[in-house]
């Protein structure tokens, strides 16, 4: 039976890096589910779709193809903000459900399992995941990480603006009616505020190895 590692957490908490490294370590397939929402965000911006029109946005979501997830434009601040806005719609989340669920259940030939990271993996997409992690860090530390990342993409931003956007996005992700961001009841919490990437990875890896060895 294929294994699933579910990783949820706040924006810029380091969950994506951890998820990617865990997938490589265990030989599991990896899906960054935020990219699905970002891909819908990019399509919505390109087509000037109203961010309040859940039905139209779900129509865009239903057409997302795997190749679109590699588009470097998905990394931009504008696309991330659009993703967070359209992710509140139940119709959009429903349209992206099967893609994520199928990936978790059938990660593909040669993979012994799957790692998915997002906001609702342990709570909605894969409630029966073998390992559930919830990654967080203090907002100021996350804002600084994201600020450096956006600078590296050549975006013209200030730390204050990034911190304000992050607070707005956290609030929206945590307070929406459908699939709000929260740790699953049986998730293991990991705060990366004072941890290097390597130290955070070591903790997550040890935890996952222990749990998977008992299955």
Confirm if 111 and 29 have CB atoms less than 8 A apart.
yes
What's the min distance (Å) between Cβ of 34 and ligand C5P? 2
- Phi, psi (5° rounding) for residue 120? -135, 25
Three-class DSSP category at 178: coil
| Cβ 213 to ligand C5P shortest distance, Å | 27
Closest contact distance (angstroms) between CB of 171 and ligand C5P is 11
Per the document, the length of the chain is 215
Nearer of residues 19 and 208 to ligand C5P, judged by Cβ: 19
CB neighbours of residue 142 within 10 Å: 24
Least distance in Å: CB of 11 to ligand C5P? 5
Q: Which is nearer to ligand C5P, 120 or 136 (CB)?
A: 120
Q: Looking at beta carbons only, is 56 or 92 nearer to ligand C5P?
A: 92
Sign of CA dihedral 196, 183, 123, 173: negative
Q: For binding to ligand C5P (CB under 6 A), which residues are involved?
A: 11, 33-34, 37-38, 80, 83-84, 87, 118-120, 169, 173
SS3 category, 199:
helix
């Amino acid at each position: 039976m294929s294994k699933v590692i579910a990783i949820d957490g706040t924006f810029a908490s380091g969950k994506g890096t951890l998820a990617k490294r865990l997938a490589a370590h265990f030989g599991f397939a990896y899906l960054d589910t935020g990219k699905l929402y970002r891909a819908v965000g990019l399509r919505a911006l390109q087509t000037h779709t109203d961010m309040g029109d859940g039905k139209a946005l779900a129509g865009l979501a239903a057409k997302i193809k795997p190749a679109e997830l590699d588009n470097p434009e998905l990394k931009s601040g504008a696309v991330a903000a659009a993703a967070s806005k359209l992710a509140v719609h139940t119709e959009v989340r429903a349209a992206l459900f099967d893609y994520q669920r199928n990936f978790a259940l059938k990660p593909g030939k040669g993979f012994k399992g799957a790692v998915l990271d997002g906001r609702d993996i342990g709570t909605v997409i894969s409630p029966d995941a073998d390992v559930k992690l919830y990654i967080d860090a203090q907002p100021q530390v996350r804002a600084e990480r994201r600020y450096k990342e956006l600078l590296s993409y050549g975006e013209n931003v200030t730390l204050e603006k990034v911190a304000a956007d992050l607070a707005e996005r956290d609030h929206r992700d945590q307070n929406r009616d459908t699939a709000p961001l929260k740790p699953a009841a049986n998730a293991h919490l990991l705060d990366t505020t004072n941890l290097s990437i390597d130290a955070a990875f070591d903790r997550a890896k040890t935890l996952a190895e222990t749990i998977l060895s008992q299955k």
